[in-house]
């Protein structure tokens, strides 16, 4: 066997990966890399030069995920596909061309620090260790089974540069140890624990702005986490940008005037700046666009803290901070219903992004308690039916409003229709009117159910008719409320009184979808109810045989779409209705139940729980009561989302199902008497 490999590589780690493959005896048949950006400081080794040294075929396309390159790689018939710091996500169409396996080298100890810039984020978040991981590539970024890992300790004095050096050494050690095992197929993989996963977005140079209202350690970690060769952490004195490359944590407070506001200069020699809880000493910095006596820009002038103070003639009690009236302040996103399924995931993602302040409203904080330590998060315990004055004040104080509060379960539609109308229509109508009054942008969640009994093969935002069932079918009171609100919002928008985007989430699923307790009370979605049946030793009940088909969408895909709507590049989302669903993940409720049972049986925690009972079929009247009606299918047309948001769902139903089940089984076993067994397993 020749062990033919197609390689995707960039950066110094990419060069290390190529050398390691050659050393291990793999035949590299083609390498794909990136063109160096003229706007980026290139501090790392060139994969193109490395390929020239070894006479390897190399390409640098703008994008790899095209039919042209799929066909080319298919003709190569590779045994393996390897990725080393390649910056574009590789499609499953390409990954499936590898006959034996696909392997990626990621710069963290997965499942921690998934996503972009894991090295920088590890320092910024104050981690004491990180590492490198070799894992299988799947349709989810950095989520495949782990093949091997190498830990790297992070010292309190480590910077991005020193950690990068450590990481390259660790990558070489890990590859040299693991590639022979991959070649001989003599290795064991372990699944990633989704409950331990953390995802971080790509960092931009502007993310380096120092918030002096943070504590000293957080600012210190930011400075060393984005220090050279990265763009650097920065602040402003008046209108002049200053990049701080190196700082020192002070071990005493003798210089610190406790009455000084964060950002205040406490000393000029050495240069010491007040923070929220102490102070930092500036050791090395750079003035961007310093000018001489002829007003000619002089660049790359590096100074120590005292030299900086002399240049600006700084005095004690002068202040550093953002440029007044020039720095864009953090936008405030108000999430009404933040403790709910979408609310908790959206708030978590916005806070991780770092560009938003989140105000969350709900009647409790059980799902988002961990967010309350974030300086950019404020939680308000309130009921929109009771605390109307407070809700109005919060809308007035926000930039973007997400009203996510709704009663959205079939039991409620049929058994408490007036309560559904009061909350889902009347209370939300008040929120819309406040947004009009205070000129706030609203992003409103309609649902796929506004389509009612529509028979279109694919539901289109612009053209599909919205059809309700007979008046006696109270099941549609929720859909009618949502549809009427859509029309009210559209009417306000057509008169230029409201900036809005409507989004329709098609059967989003994932960890945190309802709760087992709500499922036991009959107040949850179908998937959570099924899981509750399994953990309680009850048979899953399929209404009318579970023949209805739905298109299930992973919450991570859904949140990615919402982030694009919030960012609203060039205002393209204004006045739009956007379906957010996954047409490829269509399955009947019966099929979903059978897949769930199979996943449950194979899950390691199921041995602490009851064995599944046979699935039973129930009558809709017996299960939901009078007034229930449903549709056979509900498939979205997502061309609008693709064109406006440049968004395509990526996560397969099987993976979403596993993640959701794992989340609830860990909760169930933790609450079970087998506490010690669970902890041992964990």
pLDDT digits (tens, 9 = 90+) for 6-29: 999 999 999 999 999 999 999 999
**258 compared with 319, residue with greater pLDDT:** 319
CA 77/CA 586 separation, integer angstroms: 31
| Measured CA distances, 407 to 9, 419, 524, 660 (Å) | 49, 8, 10, 21
Q: By C-alpha distance, which of 367, 342, 345, 339 is closest to 506?
A: 342
288 included as an active-site residue:
no
Residues 141-155: what's their mean pLDDT? 95
Burial class (CB within 10 angstroms; exposed 0-12, middle 13-18, buried 19+) of 570 = exposed
Q: What is the pLDDT of residues 21-72, one digit of tens each?
A: 999 999 999 999 998 876 667 778 999 999 999 999 999 998 898 999 999 9
DSSP label of 116? S
pLDDT band at 337 (very low <50, low <70, confident <90, very high): very high
Q: Which residues are bridge partners to 39 per DSSP?
A: none
Q: Find, among 149, 135, 47, 37, the residue nearest to 95 by Cα.
A: 135
Q: Would you call 479 exposed, middle or buried from its count of C-beta atoms within 10 A (0-12, 13-18, 19+)?
A: buried
| Domains of the chain and CATH, by start | 4-200 (3.40.50.170), 211-312 (3.10.25.10), 406-671 (3.40.50.720)
Beta partners for residue 114, in sequence order = 199
pLDDT tens-digit readout, 342-372: 999 999 989 887 789 999 999 988 889 888 8
The confidence score (pLDDT) of residue 325 equals 43
Which one of 106, 140, 349, 441 is the catalytic residue?
106
- 63-67, 467-471, 624-628 — which is least confidently predicted? 624-628
**Beta strands 271-274 and 265-268: pairing type?**
antiparallel
Residue-level pLDDT at 638:
93
Catalytic status, residue 177: no
Closest CA to 126 of 214, 3, 42, 194: 214
Residue 180 above 80 pLDDT? yes
| Nearest by Cα to 407 from 516, 343, 481 | 481
Q: Is residue 550 within 8 Å of residue 589, measured between CB atoms?
A: yes
Helix (H, G, I), strand (E, B) or coil at 547: coil
Check whether 674 has a pLDDT greater than 50. no
Q: What's the mean pLDDT when you consider all of the chain?
A: 87
Distance CA 25, CA 2 (A): 9
Instruction: Specify burial of residue 346 (Cβ count, 10 A radius: 0-12, 13-18, 19+).
Output: buried
Structure-token match 């048979």, residue found: 539
Select which of 449, 461, 556, 650 is catalytic: 449
Q: What is the pLDDT of residue 408?
A: 59
Is 106 catalytic? The answer is: yes
Rounded distance between C-alpha atoms, residue 609 and residue 335, angstroms: 36
pLDDT in the model for residue 653: 92
Rounded to an integer, the average pLDDT of 96-119 is 95
Spatial separation of the C-alpha atoms in residues 143 and 146, rounded to whole Å: 9
Residue 472 scores a pLDDT above 70: yes
How does residue 1 score in pLDDT terms, banded at 50, 70 and 90? low
Most confident of 323-327, 371-375, 413-417, 597-601: 597-601
| Structure-token match 């993602």, residue found | 349
CA distance 558 to 540: 27
pLDDT digits (tens, 9 = 90+) for 340-349: 999 999 999 8
């Amino acid at each position: 066997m020749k062990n033919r490999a197609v390689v995707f590589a960039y950066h110094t780690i990419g060069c290390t990966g190529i050398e390691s493959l050659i050393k291990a005896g793999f035949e590299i048949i083609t390498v794909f890399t990136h063109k160096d950006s003229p706007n980026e400081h290139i501090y790392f080794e060139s994969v193109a030069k490395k390929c020239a040294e070894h006479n390897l075929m190399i390409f640098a396309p703008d994008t790899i995920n095209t039919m042209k390159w799929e066909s080319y790689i298919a003709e190569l018939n590779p045994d393996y596909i390897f990725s080393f710091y390649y910056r574009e996500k590789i499609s499953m169409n390409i990954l499936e061309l590898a006959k034996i396996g696909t392997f990626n080298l990621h710069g963290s100890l997965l499942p921690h620090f998934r996503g972009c810039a894991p090295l920088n984020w590890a320092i910024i978040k104050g981690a004491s260790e990180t590492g490198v991981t070799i894992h299988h590539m799947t349709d989810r970024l950095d989520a495949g089974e782990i093949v091997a890992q190498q830990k790297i300790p992070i010292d309190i004095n480590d910077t991005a540069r020193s950690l990068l050096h450590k990481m390259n050494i660790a990558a070489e050690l890990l590859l040299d140890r693991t590639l022979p095992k991959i070649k001989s197929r003599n290795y064991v993989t372990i699944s990633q624990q989704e409950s331990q996963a953390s995802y971080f977005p790509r960092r931009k140079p502007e993310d380096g702005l120092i918030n002096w209202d943070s504590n000293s350690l957080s600012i210190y970690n930011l400075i060393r986490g984005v220090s050279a060769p990265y763009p650097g952490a920065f602040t402003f004195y008046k209108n002049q940008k200053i990049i701080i490359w190196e700082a020192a944590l002070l071990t005493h407070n003798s210089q610190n005037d406790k009455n000084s506001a964060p950002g205040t200069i406490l000393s000029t020699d050495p240069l010491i700046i007040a923070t929220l809880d102490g102070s930092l000493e500036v050791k090395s910095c750079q003035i961007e666009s310093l000018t001489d006596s002829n007003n000619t820009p002089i660049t790359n002038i590096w100074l120590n803290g005292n030299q900086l103070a002399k240049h600006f003639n700084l005095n004690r009690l002068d202040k550093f901070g953002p440029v007044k009236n020039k720095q864009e302040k953090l936008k405030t996103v108000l999430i009404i219903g933040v403790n709910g399924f979408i609310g908790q995931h959206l708030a978590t993602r916005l806070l991780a992004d770092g560009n938003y302040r989140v105000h969350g409203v709900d009647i409790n904080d059980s799902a988002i308690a961990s967010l309350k330590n974030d300086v950019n998060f404020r939680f308000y315990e309130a009921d929109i039916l009771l605390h109307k004055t407070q809700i109005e004040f919060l809308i007035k104080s926000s930039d973007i409003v997400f009203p996510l509060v709704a009663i959205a379960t079939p039991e409620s539609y049929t058994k408490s229709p007036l309560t559904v109308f009061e909350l889902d229509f009347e209370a939300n109508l008040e929120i819309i009117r406040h947004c009009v009054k205070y000129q706030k942008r609203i992003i409103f969640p309609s649902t796929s159910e506004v389509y009612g009994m529509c028979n279109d093969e694919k539901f289109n935002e612009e053209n599909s008719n919205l059809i309700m069932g007979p008046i006696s079918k109270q099941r549609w009171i929720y859909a009618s409320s949502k549809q009427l609100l859509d029309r009210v919002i559209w009417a306000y928008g057509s008169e230029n009184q409201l900036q809005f985007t409507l989004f329709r989430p098609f059967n989003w699923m994932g960890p945190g979808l309802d709760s087992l307790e709500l499922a036991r009370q009959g107040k949850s979605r179908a998937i959570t109810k099924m899981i509750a049946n399994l953990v309680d030793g009850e048979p899953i009940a399929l209404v009318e045989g579970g023949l209805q088909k739905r298109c299930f969408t992973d919450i991570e895909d859904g949140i990615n779409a919402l982030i694009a709507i919030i960012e609203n590049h060039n205002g393209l989302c204004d006045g739009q209705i956007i379906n957010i669903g996954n047409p490829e993940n269509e399955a009947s409720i019966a099929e979903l139940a059978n897949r769930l049972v199979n996943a449950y049986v194979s899950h390691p925690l199921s041995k602490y729980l009851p064995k599944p009972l046979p699935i039973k079929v129930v009558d809709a009247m017996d299960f939901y009561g009078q007034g229930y009606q449903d549709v056979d299918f509900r498939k979205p047309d997502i061309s609008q989302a693709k064109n406006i948001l440049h968004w395509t769902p990526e996560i397969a139903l099987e993976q979403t199902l596993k993640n959701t089940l794992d989340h609830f089984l860990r909760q169930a076993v933790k609450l079970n008497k087998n506490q010690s067994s669970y902890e041992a397993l964990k």
